[in-house]
Amino acid sequence: MQAQMVPFIISEDARGQADFYIQALGGEIGILTTFGSMPGMPEAHQDKVMHMSLTLAGGNRLILTDAFQETPKGSNMGLALTFSHEEDARAAYRNLSQGGTEKYPFELQPWGAYYGEVIDRYGMTWQMVFQG
């Protein structure tokens, strides 16, 4: 099984946090998608960051997303795995969800990728992505 691991942060202010990291480490925003692109999202949440990909400090990737509620310090870190093969992404989703919680089902999303999210038995949030 092969995958690329990309850290992501669940933030109360993803845009502000990204600006801080860019100022502190150098870098740029590569992708910024808001929850407004999701059908049926309430207007109050439409400007929240769904996915923001940063390149920092000479090529390191980091992903940020806005939280929908206050996040206790220390619980705002998760891991994102981007797979080359859909079967591997599905297997990782199944394996990591054992003893944990399936937060978002692994399925084709409106933006064209397969995506799923689980919280493992230790409380770590994992995102699985396959872009075919």
Number of separate domains in the chain = 1
What's the pLDDT at 44?
Answer: 87
pLDDT mean across residues, the chain? 90
Residue 6 · residue 62 · CB < 8 Å? yes
pLDDT tens profile 76-102:
778 888 899 999 999 999 999 999 999
Helix (H) or strand (E) run with residue 96 in it: helix 86-97
Give percent of the chain with pLDDT exceeding 90.
Answer: 57
Q: How far apart are CA 116 and CA 129, in angstroms?
A: 7
pTM of the model: 0.69
**CATH number of the domain that residue 86 is part of:** 3.10.180.10
pLDDT above 90 for 121: no
**Residue ranges making up the domain that contains 27:** 3-130
